[in-house]
Amino acid sequence: MKRLLLLLFALFLSSTMVSTAFAEDYSAEQNENLKKFYIDKIKSRCKTEFKLSVDTKSFEKALAKDSSKKSSLFRYCGKPLDIIAEYCALGFGQKAVKKIKSYQCKYKAGEPQISLKGGVLTMTHSMGSRDKVGKIVKVKLGKTLKHGKFTVAQAYLISEDEKRLKGYINDISRSCEGYKLKWKVDWKSFTPALDKRLGSNNLRAIWQECYDPVRAIMGRCNNGQTDLVKKQIKSYTCRYGEPSMTLKGGKLVHTSDLTLEKPISWTKDHLGDVIKDGEFSARQMDFIKEENADFKRLFSDAANSACGTKIEWKIDWKSLEGEMNKRLSKEDKTSIYDACGVPMNRLSDVCRENKAAPKVKKKIKSYVCEAGGKKPKLTLKKGKFTYKVSFGAKDVYGFVDKFLVKKKIVKKRPAPKKLSPKDLAKIRRIIGQGAKVSKCYKGCRLRCSTQSCIQKCRNRCN
C-alpha cells in the first residue's frame, strides 16, 4: 500500500514538473517573440527601449478554451508596441515614450484597457478580434501618451488637419489676386471636439469647419470684391465655441461648435454680414443689386418703353433697411422690388391702355420708392414722383389709380354698369366656381381686354 502511494506521489510530482516546465517554456517563448518582433521598432523609431513581459499565467483559462490563439498571444500583446512605434515614426510622443520603463500584457475580461503609472505601461485584454483590439488600443494609447499640451492622438489629428488646411488656404492667392491671409487655429479651444473625433469617422473634420470662411472669402473675390477683402480682412482665427463670426480691426474670428446643419451657407451669410460695402454690409449690397436689377427689368424699363420716357428711378434702401433684413433672415419672403413697382406698373398700363403717355412724359421726371407707414402715400412735386410703400396694404393699384386721376394724368373712369347674371357666371368661371365676386373685381374685370389685365385685377382685389 505504501509503495502504491509513493508511486502515485512520484507520478504527480513528475506531471507537475512537466507542466511547470512547459508553462515556463511557453512564457519564455512568448516574451522572446515579443522582443524579437517589436523591440527593434521601438529602438529605431522612438530612440529608447524598455522591458517587455507577457503574463502568460493570466491567459491560461482563456487559452484552454481556444488553443488556436496560443501561438499568436504575443501579437495581441504587441499591438500597443506597434502603435507606439507608428506614433514615434510620425513624430509624436517620443518624450512620453522615453518615460516608459517597462511594458506588461495581462488577461482581463472586457474591453482592452491601457494605463501608464510610475513608468509601467500595462495593457489588459480578453483576446477578442485582433483588428478590433488594435483600433481600441490606438485610441486609448493616444489618449494616454502626451505630446506637449495635447495627447498624442490629439496632436496627430491637429497635424493632419493643419496640413490639409494649409494646402487649401494657399489657394486663396489665386482667387484674390495674390492676397496672402494670415491664419491660425485655436487648437486649445478645440480640445473637446478633438476628443469627440477620436475613434469616430462620422463627425465633420475641424479643417473643413475652419476652411468654410476661407471658401466664402474666395467667393467674394471671384465676384469682384477683392479690394473689399484685402482692405478689411488682415488675419483669420478659427476657434471652438458658440457659432459666431466677428470682424474687428482687420481680425476675422470664426467660432464653431461643429453642429451647424448647413455650415457652408451659414458661413457665407455671416461673412457677408461682417464685411462692409459702403453704408451697407456686403450681404445687404448683394440683395440690393438683385432687387434693383429686377425692378429695372420688370418695371422701370417697361414704363419708359410704354410711355416713351426716361424716368430716373431710385429705391431708398436706407429707409427700407429694416424690411431688407427681414427678407435676409427669411422672416418675410415677399419681394421689396415688387411692392415698390406698383406705381411704375400702373404708369405702363395707363400709357398703353389710356393713351396717357404725353401727360406722363410731361409731369413725371423721376421716381423714388421709400419706406412708409401703415398706409401707402403718393406725392408728385416738380416732376418727382414719390411712393411711400406700405407692405401688406390692400388694393394698392386702386390707390394709385385714384392718385393718377387726381393729378389729371388719366381721366376718371365711369362707374361700371351692373353686371348681368350671364356676366357674373362668366367671371365666376374665370376665378373659380362659387367664388364671391367683390365690387372691386367686378369693376376692374369689365375694363379688361387681355389675360394679363385680368390677372392684375385678381392681385388688386384679393
Encode pLDDT of 199-231 as tens digits.
Answer: 665 678 899 999 999 999 999 999 999 999 999
> Are 31 and 52 spatial neighbours (Cβ–Cβ below 8 Å)?
yes
Provide the pLDDT for residue 171. Answer: 87
Q: Let me know if 147 is exposed, middle or buried by CB neighbors in 10 A (0-12, 13-18, 19+).
A: buried
- CA 94, CA 44: separation in Å to the nearest integer? 11
Confidence band for 439, pLDDT divided at 50, 70 and 90: low
pLDDT of the residue at 416: 56
What letter represents residue 24's amino acid? E
**Which residue did the predictor score with more confidence, 412 or 336?**
336
How far is it between the farthest Cα atoms of the chain? 143
Q: Which of 31-40, 399-408, 422-431 has the lowest mean pLDDT?
A: 422-431
**pLDDT the model gives residue 441:** 60
Cα–Cα distance for residue pair 392/443, rounded to 1 Å:
22
Average pLDDT over residues 121-142: 81
Min mean pLDDT across 55-64, 130-139, 279-288 is at: 130-139
CA dist 92 and 74 (Å) reads 25
The pLDDT of residue 6 is: 53
Q: What is the C-alpha end-to-end distance of the chain, expressed in Å?
A: 119
Average pLDDT over residues 419-440: 63
Mean pLDDT on 186-190 = 95
Would the pLDDT of 16 be above 50?
A: no
Residue 457, pLDDT > 80, answer: no
Q: What are the pLDDT digits (tens) for 234-281?
A: 999 999 999 999 999 999 999 999 888 899 999 999 999 999 999 999
Task: Pick the more confident residue, 294 or 127.
Answer: 294
When pLDDT is averaged across residues 27-32 and rounded to a whole number, the result is 84
As a whole number of angstroms, the distance between CA 273 and CA 292 comes to 19
CB proximity list for 263: less than 8 A, separation 6 or greater: 204, 208, 209, 212, 256
239/237 Cα distance (integer angstroms): 7
How many C-beta atoms lie closer than 10 Å to residue 352's C-beta?
A: 16
Query: For residues 241 and 266, what is the distance between their CA atoms, to the nearest angstrom?
Result: 15
Please tell me what DSSP assigns to residue 308: T
The total of other beta-carbon atoms located within 10 Å of residue 116's CB is 16
**DSSP secondary structure string for all residues of 224-251:** T-HHHHHHH--EEEEEESSSEEEEETTE
Average pLDDT over residues 378-398: 93
pLDDT given for residue 417 in this prediction: 60
Whether residue 112 is predicted with pLDDT greater than 80 in this model: the reply is yes
Query: Of 247, 213, 254, 214, nearest to 233 (Cα)?
Result: 247
Predicted pLDDT at 342: 94
Tell me how far CA of residue 240 lies from CA of 148, 154, 206, 256, 414, in angstroms: 20, 15, 9, 5, 70
Parse the chain into domains and list their residue ranges: 24-148, 155-277, 285-413, 416-462
